């Protein structure tokens, strides 16, 4: 159930990010990396790109975790499934960061200027 709630939260964040994320570059909210915070253009690009990844990643995870919650009654099996889904949640975060940083590097130079 926890993974379902967290996945739903990430879907909502992904939908918000797909629209460009926070309007101002902030140090406490949003997709914050050295490259994404170079300027407004990199900030918006990173959020839109990351949001496009999060929505499908976490939609799938939401469906799987909700289904697992409904179908699994055994506590031993549910612990294994919860661990697997928790790992998948973290892997999705890492993959989205890696892919977003690659996209930023391909789209912008080290100073944040478009290629």
Render each residue's pLDDT in the chain as its tens digit; 115 residues: 788 899 999 999 999 999 999 999 987 889 999 999 999 999 999 999 999 999 999 999 999 988 887 777 666 667 778 788 899 999 999 999 999 999 999 999 999 999 8
Residue 14 is assigned to a structural domain of this protein: yes
> Residue 75: what pLDDT?
63
CA 64/CA 16 separation, integer angstroms: 23
Q: How many folded domains does the chain comprise?
A: 1
- Spell out the residues 6+ positions from residue 114 whose beta carbon is closer than 8 angstroms to its own: 41, 107, 108
Give the contacts of 50 (CB within 8 A, at least 6 positions apart): 14, 17, 31, 96, 97, 100
Residue 21 lies in a domain: yes
Of residues 37, 18, 26, the one with CA closest to residue 96: 18
Question: Is 112 inside any structural domain?
Answer: no
Which domain range does residue 97 map to?
2-107
In a domain, 113, yes or no: no
Tell whether 114 is covered by a domain: no
User: 81: left (phi > 0), else alpha (psi -120 to 50), else beta?
Assistant: alpha
């Amino acid at each position: 159930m926890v993974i379902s709630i967290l996945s739903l939260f990430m879907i909502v964040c992904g939908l918000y990010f797909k629209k460009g994320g926070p309007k101002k570059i902030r140090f406490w909210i949003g997709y914050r990396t050295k490259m994404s915070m170079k300027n407004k253009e990199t900030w918006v690009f990173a959020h839109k790109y990351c949001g496009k990844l999060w929505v499908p990643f976490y939609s799938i995870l939401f469906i799987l975790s909700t289904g697992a919650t409904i179908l699994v009654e055994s506590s031993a099996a549910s612990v294994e499934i919860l661990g697997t889904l928790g790992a998948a949640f973290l892997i999705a975060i890492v993959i989205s960061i890696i892919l977003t940083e690659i996209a930023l590097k391909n789209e912008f130079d080290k100073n944040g200027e478009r290629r």
